[in-house]
Amino acid sequence: MIIIMLGAPGTGKGTIAGLLEGKLGFKQVSTGDIFRKNIQKQTELGKLANSYMEKGNLVPDDVTIKIVEDRLEQPDVQNGIILDGFPRTVAQAEALDKILEGKGKKIDMVLNLTTPEEEIIERVVSRRVCSNPECKTIYNVIMNPPKQEGICDKCGSELIQRKDDNEETIKTRIATYMEQTSPLVEYYKNQGILKTEEVSQRINRLAKDVADDIESEITC
């Protein structure tokens, strides 16, 4: 099964994808994590990706598509995959459709998350991520703080704040999303595979609620 996570930064894509991975056993694959690993290792790809990401811009399609295509060949995603952060443009979506068609596969669900912008900004600047690349658990110091400040509940590693998790960058990222990525909503709506969910304190519906409902829908 192939699930795609859509939504502006801070809507909960990574959190819900992680919950679904635990519930359904499908591997969560985040292009952002792939890029960050390369940035940490100072690879050529990492340096290129960082030149875009640190400004809140998207990494070019040809680079991102190649990375995802290679990832889809790996054995741990053959039974199911949750794509978090890809595709982000219609060109990427069309490329993904062609890649999957060649493998005799298709996208089963596109989960589109929405959240009011003021909530997104608050969430992002309050977000902390486990520094252990094998864990990557996400916390929020206001809504979902760790039991011990600065320490991951699950593995005991240090929690960090991503360099791009600041108000100025997130506003740029939201604007970029609206310009380049939101047309994907219409693209997948026309294919009949789009499911839109609001994740917001305003309606008391958070990531766990959405993940529980998606699990029930898939397994029933």
Confidence (pLDDT) at 95: 94
Q: What is the mean pLDDT of each run of 10 residues along the chain (220 residues)?
A: 92 91 92 79 82 79 83 89 90 94 94 94 92 89 91 96 89 88 92 95 91 91
pTM: 0.78
User: Is 139 inside a domain boundary?
Assistant: no
In the residue annotation, 55 being an active-site residue is answered as no
Select which of 27, 123, 127, 128 is catalytic: 127
Distance CA 5, CA 3 (A): 7
In the residue annotation, 88 being an active-site residue is answered as yes
User: Is 137 inside a domain boundary?
Assistant: no
Q: Structural domain of residue 60, as residue ranges? A: 2-115+168-214
Q: What CATH number does the domain containing 43 carry?
A: 3.40.50.300
Backbone angles phi, psi at 184, to 5 degrees: -65, -30
User: Is 163 inside a domain boundary?
Assistant: no
User: Is 48 inside a domain boundary?
Assistant: yes
* Count of structural domains within the chain: 1
Confidence (pLDDT) at 74: 87
In the residue annotation, 205 being an active-site residue is answered as no
Hunting for tokens 């089963």 — which residue is that?
108
Confidence (pLDDT) at 92: 92
Handedness of CA 114, 120, 124, 129 (dihedral sign): negative
User: Is 159 inside a domain boundary?
Assistant: no
User: Is 27 inside a domain boundary?
Assistant: yes
User: Is 122 inside a domain boundary?
Assistant: no
User: Is 209 inside a domain boundary?
Assistant: yes
Confidence (pLDDT) at 108: 95
